[in-house]
Amino acid sequence: MRFIVLTLLLFFGHSLMAQQDSIPPKREKDSLRLQDRDSLSLDSNKDTIAKKDAIKQKPVLKGPCKSLVQQKDSVSIRDYKIISYQRDTTFVDTTLTIKKDYRYNYLRKDDFELMPFTNMGQPYNELGVGFGTIPYYPRIGAKAKHPGYFEKEDIDYYNVPTPMTELMFKTTMEQGQYLDALLTFNMSRRFNMAIAYNGFRSLGKYRYEEAQDGKFRVSFNYITENGKYGLRGHIAAQEMETEESGGLLDRSQFEDDLPDFQDRAKIDLRYTDANNRILGKRYFLDQQFKLVSHKRDSTDNEPTTLTIGHEFSYETKIYDFEQARQNDAFGQDPFLIPIEDRARLKTMFNRGSVGFFNKTLGRISGNISLYNYNYFFSSILITDEQTIQNKLKGEEISVGGTYSNKLGPLSLNGNINYTVSGDLTGNNLDVTASYRLNENNSLIGGLHISSRMPNFNYLLYQSDYRNFNWQNNNTFEKEQSQSISAGFNSKKFGRLKADFSRVDNYTYFASTATEEEIGLGQENAFVRPFQESGTVNHLKVKYEKELKWRKWSLMNTVMYQEVTQENQVLNLPQVVTRNSLYFSSDVFKKAMFLQTGVTFKYFTSYNMNAYNPLLGEFYIQNNEEFGGYPLMDVFINAKVKQTRIYLKAEHLNSIFSEPNYYSAPNYPYRDFVIRFGLVWNFFS
């Protein structure tokens, strides 16, 4: 109740803020093109609604924290810029669309190809995979724990004319809240700071599944007055911790739908004293200096330039698994009790680059990189069967280059890397192209080729449980992947994209447990990494199209997948579909914009991957199929000024359907729950 009161106070207190928010724009499509009236103007020291969505004159800034704005100055929503790691620039979007609803979740991105566990912050099982965006360097592993982790490519940078705040709040499953807060401001016209914190706690409906996060980020970017030198960087400190229950001990308590177990806290779970954690800290710095900037004349907005650059990143990461007592689910006779497994990875990355830009030739750059890594455990493990080292340490030296150009309707982008010295990586090539047929239609295509070792936990792992100790860095080969994609994007016919991938030396986790051991609940105890000798081929076709009639809309997303393989090592549903039927309208004399409707999600049954909490990884199982059931959510979303309000009844059909819905073997999907929250932008 106290959170409802707090939300109401914040909502009604919004009108008391110094800023007057803009009128909601038309919502004909999910884009960043806002109407002129959705803008902010500064009139002396008082904010008013701008008559034109344009800047008449740039404000004069004096001092590090002072902004003197003339009466004729106009600031629009487009002036609040967001700059990605790849230096792509967008601006703050305060519209309310169905795609915003899809992104209103723990990850803050569309989770169409993911299947969440019952509690917020727990792993996501994969309904679809993509081999066209593989990181060049191996990572620590514990992949199931990383969907919410901010990599350096996930950190944004900002450039805003006035301070901006964005708050996202959402209720969790039980006894907790989720908050994602961002504050960004310009210390001067050329120097921006951003401070962000993402945190939540959720007890969950089942016992021993509490999850909590704390992710703090600070970013900045600076450019000199003459525009020759630019600097940006960030610091990120992240901790993600969850209790691990091991799933259901007796499935009949869930599937028989008995009244005694309608309270999920009464269901028996496999263990009660385990938890795992990801802890990461990163320091990132990127700088560029223009050696030459040749303008033909004063009207030349794209001069020929020659730049040098340097990127630096230092990151430490820890993965922990702890358990107070031994449990047969992970094996008998451990080395030590209590169980305290800890894997550490320290990396340092330096890249120097030289870039050239010309309006005709495009943007070309060459670089040389040095990557130092140290993946280690506390001690060497010596047994009668084997000796396992405690670390993998070395350095990788690679050379590469990038190219981008726009030739009329054709846009080209390319990136290539080749390892000169080192054992982890081989090569990487990414090429994307788009061709604009006309204003409403375009063709897209891409090519990806890469060669690299699998993640570190496939190569080396140590645990207090005897079965989870291995060293494969001298026996595993580099994964070889080749992907080609093509698509068609049309405002009238929708978006269609097809990807075909071929993977050699595909690496995966699987259990070697016998049927008797599986019957005793010991399948997890025999999970180990394997490498497929044959070739795995994967085809994915995805189609999106929204149909509209008056104030009604039907948003459709359909994905088809086909896998050909000698052995069944990559399991995916053949069809995944999501359909949203909703109604949109202005209400209360256009003071509020409302969207309400229902979303159906469905995927065909398949051998769903199982989850191993000790490794923080999913592994292949071919014993039973899951899926083939619908997920129905009913939502009511609204926008008042710059505030988007979300109310959703999740998995409504679980009230009257059979309890056969799972996110992974022994891990049920969430039951019916009502959750609400908001996203709120302030402009000072």
Contact (Cβ atoms closer than 8 angstroms) between residue 284 and residue 351:
no
Residue 524 per-residue DSSP state: G
Closest CA relative to residue 542, chosen from 527, 561, 529:
561
Strands 177-188, 164-171: pairing is: antiparallel
CATH of the domain at 191: 2.40.170.20
Alpha-helix runs per DSSP H in 112-224: none
Q: How far is Cα 155 from Cα 217, in angstroms, rounded to an integer? A: 8
Q: How far is Cα 253 from Cα 264, in angstroms, rounded to an integer? A: 9
Domain, as residue range, for 326: 2-683
Q: How confident is the model at residue 3, as a pLDDT?
A: 41
Q: How confident is the model at residue 297, as a pLDDT?
A: 61
Please state, as a whole number, how many other Cβ atoms lie within 10 Å of the Cβ of residue 252. Answer: 10
b/e per residue, 282-313, with b = 16+ CB within 10 A? Answer: bebebebebeeeeeeeeeeeeebbebebebeb
What's the per-residue H, E or C state across 253-315?
HHHCCCHHHCCHHHCCECCCCEEEEEEEEEEEEEEEEEEEEECCCCCCCCCEEEEEEEEEEEE
Closest CA relative to residue 129, chosen from 113, 150, 110:
113
Which residues, given as ranges, of the chain have pLDDT below 50?
Answer: 1-72
Token pair 């969790």 in the structure block, residue: 172
Please count the structural domains in the chain.
1
Q: How confident is the model at residue 14, as a pLDDT?
A: 40
Residues with Cβ < 8 Å from 330, sequence gap 6 or more? 323, 339, 465, 467, 468, 524, 525, 614
Q: How far is Cα 144 from Cα 123, in angstroms, rounded to an integer? A: 5
Percent helix, strand and coil across the chain, each to the nearest 5: 10, 55, 40
Contact (Cβ atoms closer than 8 angstroms) between residue 279 and residue 238:
yes
Bridge partners (DSSP) of residue 362 are 358
Please state, as a whole number, how many other Cβ atoms lie within 10 Å of the Cβ of residue 471. Answer: 18
If 0-12 CB within 10 Å is exposed, 13-18 middle and 19+ buried, where does residue 668 land? buried
Closest CA relative to residue 84, chosen from 10, 187, 157:
157
Residue 352 per-residue DSSP state: E
Q: How confident is the model at residue 441, as a pLDDT?
A: 96
